[in-house]
Amino acid sequence: MSNWKIPLFEPEFTSEDIEAACAPLREGWISMGERTYAFEKAFRDKICAAHVFAVCNGTAALHLALAALGIGRGDEVILPSLTFVACANVIVQQCAIPVFTDCCSEEDWTLSPQDIERKITHGARAIMAVHYAGFPCRMEEIVPIARRHNLAIIEDCAHALFSIRKGKPCGLWGDIGCFSFFTNKNMTTGEGGMLTTNDDRLAERIRLMRSHGMTTLTLDRHRGYARSYDVVEFGFNYRIDEIRAALGSSQLQRMDSRLLRRKEIYWHYLEKLKDIDGIIIPFQDRTEDNVGYHIFPIYIKKSSIRDQLMDALKQEGIQTSIHYPPIHHFMAYREAGYSAECPLTERLTSGEITLPFYPSMSEEQISIVCESLRRNLLALS
């Protein structure tokens, strides 16, 4: 596929995964049905949410969350600029306004509660909290701010599968949690996503809006339970299918051991990186959180050499990435006038590099990455 010696990420598929994905094809029913409900039940039990809904991808989950909360024209949604562009795109698609906030500090790259407070206006309706790299946002500070200003909270848990802060899982702090099962995420179905909520009323809207706002599903009609339907919301088709749901259930069974392995790799990295000068490793004070480690971001203090450093690593077969270019720097956002005051985000993203990170990584591969980083940093300094 690619000739990276050490890729950025590597999904794992066992023979059980392959069997699971083939079963719906053999049986003949592939659109949303019993396997989706089984996947949802397993996920619900794991995260202890009252309601969970599987959808076709994480972006659809975020869009559905905004729509279910009734966020629309002119409403302001506060979110970090340091996140994947999908977060802001779905806000704009709802004709709402993204309000970009800065990170907390050089050590904590999640969105700053102080900056949230500063940027709340009378048009604000919601906060989209992104648990960057798997590290939970400071939800114990963000939730009271949201309450005080009557704002909804959507959590983007695409990086934070089974991350826990102060005993509460990511996805259950706010009104709605949104997960992604894209190929590079900790658990994957190729494309896939999940919403979590403890709110019965929101759950009912999500259930309807996931499938056209219709009162019955194709499966109900197939089984003869229902002849026709009414449409009670303006919905989407954001359903998942049985092939992906079966793969999701299979992957979910291994998640605990995979997350433990990620944790080990994270600690190996910390150990091997600790004597390298010229870098900052964020989140080192997050020892009390239960982190579902997703990516390994570092900051190169001499940010002017970042791109050359990435090229040098590439020459040695090591794939790296940038998480993320700030959203307010993208052309579409600049041209639409979504400016933002996020100086720390701008500084951190100009020197950020994401190192290879996946459960099947060997200790030797981690050493190769760290050695190459040390050598090339010296050469470029």
Ligand X SMILES: *Cc1c(COP(=O)(O)O)cnc(C)c1O
**Which residues of this chain interact with ligand X, rule CB under 6 A?**
57-59, 83-84, 86-87, 130, 156, 158-159, 180, 182, 193
Residues 189 and 240: beta-carbon distance below 8 Å: yes
- Complex with ligand X: residue 89 or 250, whichever CB lies closer: 89
In angstroms, what is the minimal distance from the CB of 127 to ligand X? 15
Can you state the percent helix, strand and coil of the chain, rounding each to 5?
Answer: 40, 15, 40
Nearer to ligand X, 193 or 278 (CB): 193
Q: Residue 234 is encoded by which pair of tokens?
A: 């303006």
Token pair of 324 as six digits: 């993320």
Helix H, strand E, coil C: the string for 259-298 is: HHHHHHHHHHHHHHHCCCCCEECCCCCCCCCECCCCCEEE
Which residues are 279's β-sheet partners? 300
59-80 as b/e, with b when 16 or more CB fall inside 10 Å?
Answer: bbbbbbbbbbbebeeebbbbbb
Instruction: Fill in the DSSP letter of residue 225.
Output: S
Which is closer to ligand X, CB of 193 or CB of 351? 193
Q: CB 183 → ligand X: shortest distance, Å?
A: 9
Minimum separation from the CB atom of position 67 to ligand X (A) = 15
- In angstroms, what is the minimal distance from the CB of 154 to ligand X? 11
CB of 86 to ligand X, least distance (A): 4
Closest to ligand X by CB, 9 vs 182, is 182
How far apart are alpha carbons 163 and 262 in whole angstroms? Answer: 12
Provide CB contacts within 8 A for 288, sequence distance 6+: 166
Q: Which residue is nearest to ligand X (CB)?
A: 58
Shortest Cβ distance from residue 108 to ligand X (Å)? 17
Nearer to ligand X, 154 or 305 (CB): 154
Q: Which residue is listed with tokens 């809207």?
A: 205
SS3 call for 188: coil
**Closest CB to ligand X among 58 and 169?**
58
CB of 230 to ligand X, least distance (A): 30
- Of 9 and 266, nearer to ligand X (C-beta) is 9
